[in-house]
Homo-oligomer: A and B are copies of this chain.
Amino acid sequence: MTAGVEYGLHCLLWLASSPGTPLSSRDLADFQGISRSFLAKVFPKLEKAGIVSASEGINGGYLLARQPGDITVLEVIDAIEGKKPLFDCQEIRGRCAVYRERPPSWATKGVCAIHAVMLRAEKAMRDSLASQTLADIAGDLGGKAPPEFSDDVRKWLADRTKGRTRSGATEDRALS
């Protein structure tokens, strides 16, 4: 599982907690102490998949395109990683030397038995990931933070948009 997925999911959770107000990939990156440039490369993928919607301009940013309960973890992963299979069968069974480069049809018919096992395991994993939505994760998280925390977060983001035109802290990777 790639780091892009981890970053993306964390960002989507913040987006879910800020309905109506767009958050920019830059602010999200600084807010969480991760690379701005890299995050700026994962968001377009989420937009193409219809998970977020982008708005441009000085106060633009990203917004969740659907309800958190309608976005599954699996969708997010596929959007970012590109739905590549866990196991790519190289059809070893057809290379057996006794065939002399001419594998008979019975040998290559259907799905390779090893491949089939992997496909079942992959399906089990994907089913598990598809059963969890952003709302589920946000729910698990909700009870932990004290009441004043969400206010602190809103304040941090507001200060951020306020001080746009001044202050020179615009270097990449402000934190790290």
Min CB distance A112 to B, Å, is: 9
C-beta contact mask, A23-42 vs B, less than 8 Å → 1, else 0? 00000001111100000000
A132 close to B106 (CB less than 8 A): no
Q: How far is the CB of A86 from chain B (nearest CB, A)?
A: 5
Which of B6, B89, B127 is close to A87, meaning CB atoms less than 8 Å apart? B6
* Residue among A5, A9, A30, A114 having the largest count of chain B Cβ atoms under 10 Å: A114
| Main SS class of interface, A | helix
Contact between chains at A6 and B114 (CB < 8 Å): yes
- Bits for A1-36, please: 1 = Cβ < 8 Å to B, else 0: 101011101100100000000000000001111100
With contacts A86-B1, A125-B122 taken as known, whether A106 is within 8 angstroms of B145 at the C-beta atoms is: yes
